[in-house]
Chains A and B, each alone.
Chain A
Amino acid sequence: MIENGMRYLRGYVKIQIQGYSPERFLNLCSYHHILIWGLAYEDHCYELCMSVRDFKRIRPFAKKTHTKVRVKEKYGFPFSLYNNRKRKLFFAGFIICIFLLQIYSMFIWDIHFTGNETRTDEALSSFLREKGVFAGMLKKEADCRKIVKEIRTQYDDVVWVSASLDGSRLKIQIKENEDSFEKEEKKKDENAVDLVASSDGVITKIVTRTGTPQVHVGDTVKKGDILVSGRVEIVNDSKEVIGYKYCHADADIFADTQMEYEDELSASYEEKVYDKKEKHRFYVKVKDTRVSFGSVKMKPNRCEFISKEYGVKAGKNFYLPFSYGMETVRSYHLREKIYTKEEMRAVLSKDFERFCKDLQKKVFK
């Protein structure tokens, strides 16, 4: 396969030989390392193929063996180039193709992010756009070191960034810090602060980082009691207090507390019942101009309007200024229904679960 391709690229000829002893001619050729293929016998003449370069060398052998050589056909790229020499537009197209390829490869066509978990691709690319890095920019203007620096200064929780050009794609790899920095925020207020109970309860676990704990595990506390004092005693060798140091108390305190929870649910509710009426409208959008096909008019009724729009993009992140979409209208009417006891229980317990989850989120923020 590759061999055939190479033969085609270099050009080869099919020749016909005729004479007293063609075998001798063939042997001479092979002795001089001339590659022969496709040798066939056809009423007293032989047809064979050889490359153009070898063809130029066979004249003395043909003379020596009294063989008549006749070129039957020419194959290959050099010949087709010569045959098509008058097709100027074809060559122009070929040159333009190479030229365009060269020009297009001077731009960045895609920005690819990997490793970003908390930040979306969109957020990162809009940040980069502000800094003058976007899909469609010139490749040589992209300074990978600068991009890395800018990302690092903008996002504190990014611990490692790498930007590299991979063909016409800008690859940005990011490693985010899994445990976020909250201590830095706290450093801002250096005033001495006590930790105070936010509700009544029994302490189950206490981990103090700074400050003096005032309660122990198992203690019952009331709302407003000091749990960890921001005043730290400074003692000398004989355990006498010689001074106080004030700091920002910091601790994890777990306590069993009670909390009231109440929820209401109206027994009747309205259910959407879709009619079987549906209308679609397809549209194409170029920048802000929109061309739609079909209509979505419905009789004055309750209806649901759904619109989906897709941006056309080249590559993964390079959006072209076209988009297309589909609008769907579905009519429906409302029907009054009443919850059964089981349904009610299910809905309410789901709400309660959600409440618990929110509470946990609030505490462990």
Chain B
Amino acid sequence: MEKEQIKKKLASAASMPKDVVMGASVVTVLGMSEVCIENYSGITEYTDTLVRIRTKHGQIQLKGSCLEIEFYTNDEMKITGSINLIEFQEGRNLR
């Protein structure tokens, strides 16, 4: 069994929050205009129409227009603007 799966089982068995145990990113979407992302490792790309964020397990892609990063710290970021698409891509070595 893979290490990830052990962790997953452990988390569900002990009913522990998965974002802590597995490092899953937390994405909070508020309407069409605000997205709050926690647990990520960095930004891969950022323009006013596309934001790509690297997470532990893959990538989150946001598409929209007039995208702005309201704040950007080591553990949380907030993106505002009109958002059309939120996409999750698995795989470590996405560019």
- Which residues from chain A sit less than 8 Å from chain B, CB to CB? 22-23, 26-27, 29-31, 33, 35-42, 46, 48
Contacts and interface: CB of A to CB of B under 8 A. Distances in A.
B68 A30 contact: no
Interface string B45-73: 11110000000000000000001111111
A54 to B, nearest CB: 11
A37 B70 contact: yes
Contacts of A37: 69-72
B36 to A, nearest CB: 14
Contact of B72 (A26, A41, A42): A26
Contacts of A22: 46
Counting contact residues on chain B (CB < 8 A from A), the size range is 10 to 19
B33 interface: no
A39 B68 contact: yes
A45 to B, nearest CB: 11
A200 B9 CA distance: 107
A39 B46 CA distance: 10
- 10 nearest A-B pairs in the assembled complex, by CB-CB distance: A39-B69, A27-B42, A37-B71, A41-B48, A36-B72, A23-B43, A40-B68, A30-B74, A41-B47, A26-B43
B73 A35 contact: yes
A41 B42 contact: no
Interface string B3-45: 0000000000000000000000000000000000000011111
Contact of A30 (B48, B67, B70, B72): B72
Given A26-B43, A37-B72, A40-B68, 20 more contacts: A22-B46, A23-B42, A23-B45, A26-B46, A26-B72, A27-B42, A29-B72, A30-B74, A31-B74, A35-B72, A35-B73, A36-B69, A38-B69, A39-B71, A39-B72, A40-B48, A41-B46, A41-B47, A41-B67, A46-B46
Nearest to B43: A23
A23 B47 CA distance: 10
Contacts of B68: 38-41
A27 B40 CA distance: 11
22 contacts: A23-B46, A27-B42, A29-B72, A30-B42, A30-B73, A30-B74, A33-B74, A36-B69, A37-B69, A37-B70, A37-B71, A37-B72, A38-B68, A38-B71, A39-B46, A39-B69, A39-B71, A41-B46, A41-B47, A41-B48, A41-B67, A46-B46
B44 A23 contact: yes
Contacts of B47: 41
Where chain B touches its partner, the secondary structure class is strand
Interface in B56-95: 67-74
A197 B55 CA distance: 106
Nearest to A3: B71
Nearest to A38: B70
Contacts of B43: 23, 26-27
A199 to B, nearest CB: 91
A30 B69 CA distance: 13
- Most B CB contacts (10 A, CB to CB) among A22, A37, A42 go to A37
B6 to A, nearest CB: 29
A36 B71 contact: yes
A243 B72 CA distance: 105
Contacts of B69: 36-40, 48
B10 to A, nearest CB: 29
Contacts of A29: 72
A37 B48 CA distance: 15
Nearest to A46: B46
A329 B54 CA distance: 87
Contacts of B72: 26, 29-30, 35-37, 39, 48
A6 to B, nearest CB: 14
Most buried by B among A37, A39, A42, A46: A39
Contacts of A36: 69, 71-73
A40 B71 CA distance: 10
Nearest to A47: B68
A27 B72 CA distance: 9
A30 B73 CA distance: 5
A37 B70 CA distance: 5
B16 to A, nearest CB: 26
